[in-house]
Amino acid sequence: MSRPPEGVVRLAPGAVIPTADPRIVASDAAPVRLLERQIMGEPGEGPTAILALSGGGANGAYGAGVLVGWTESGQRPDFRIVTGVSTGALAAPFAFLGKAWDPQLAAAYSDGGAKDILAWRQLATFASPSLYSSSALCKLVDKAVTPELLAAVAVEHDKGRRLLVATTNLDSQETVIWDMGLIAKQGGPQGLKLFKDVLVASASIPGVFPPVLIAGRAKDGRILQEMHVDGGVNTPFLAVPESLLLWTRPAERAQAGSIWVLVNGQLGRREAVTVGRLTAILKRSYDSASKAQARAHLAANAAFAERNGLAFRVAAVPDEAEANSLDFSDASMARLFETGRQQGRTGKAWAAWKPVEAEKVATNGLIVIDAPPR
């Protein structure tokens, strides 16, 4: 993947520079000003419900199943803000558009298109920056993201709702939050291309899929090629931006709301003898690191929610379920989808996440907290 020196380019044909920049850098002060009003809601607007969809590769089939089953239960809320990271980014537009788009959400994980993502014929060339080509992933996104979907997202954006997707800018090592509704409002071929590029970038696991180069404008007006990869590199899910985590709202904004985090993966530790081979060691290390990162991120977001009077609910793949984030086979994804669907339908998927001093017990996909004995 060739890039010009310092990433500076002439504006090439097809490069998309939106008229209104949809990017928010999560570590800047801007999210505090922009997202504070959205997370807490304006006075008189009623409580804000936020749905955050995590990364997890093929385990995204579980999250899709939970949403479909939740609809079938008749208890699925309407969310003012929907966010997505990695595989959660691929599901986020459908979740944002609501129950009427459940068939498209289910098809994205069950029509067989995903099984080719890591197929041997997708192996990249020796000089490629990744093990696999992103062609199958791009085809999946091309099929799912239509002009009709883009128009529907733009309509909801005008109602004050927000669809946010996170990528990781490798050049700046920062999480970038994309306002997908703003991109959808741009419309046309360029808006559609940028919308798809952001989704592919958010799902592009470094080393597995190639990065996505997205044109951006520097403060001095130069056009830059930014290198974006999986949003999960920096954050497993996006509920509260980094710069907002330590913030406490003023007392006069004491308005109730809720955060729902759908974790497309397992959270519990699983003891097993690790085979002394490179692939086994790397896989086990990645699994351990990703679970620890998710638990830490949940604890930080739960503390924010408790401090600011927001309900905090978590769903995750049951620890006893057979799950593999890189198994995109039809059988595995169908099994996970049905697990999520049953839990969403029966209400077993969701439970409260309590402070870290409590003792956690993982049962049937629930995160149940039992207070330690006194």
Can 230 be counted among the known catalytic residues? yes
CB of 32 within 8 A of CB of 243? Answer: yes
165: Cα separation from own chain's centroid: 6
Which listed residue (54, 86, 110, 204) is catalytic?
Answer: 86
Instruction: Give the distance from CA 128 to its chain's centroid.
Output: 26
- Relative to beta strand 351-352, strand 310-316 is antiparallel
Catalytic: 128?
no
Contacts of 110 (CB under 8 A, 6+ apart): 61, 330, 333, 334, 337
> Rounded to an integer, what distance in angstroms lies between the CA atom of residue 188 and that of residue 196?
12
Contact 22, 180 (CB under 8 A): yes
HSE-CB for 290 with a 13 A CA cutoff: 22
Q: Where are the beta strands (DSSP E) in the chain?
A: 23-25, 48-53, 81-85, 162-169, 174-179, 212-217, 223-230, 257-263, 310-316, 351-352, 359-363, 366-370
Q: How many CB atoms lie within 10 A of CB 18?
A: 18
Name 95's Cβ contacts closer than 8 Å, sequence gap at least 6.
Answer: 51, 53, 67, 79, 82, 84, 105
Catalytic option among 102, 179, 230, 327: 230
Burial 258-273 (b: 16+ CB within 10 A, else e): bbbbbbbbbbbeeeee
Catalytic annotation, residues = 86, 230
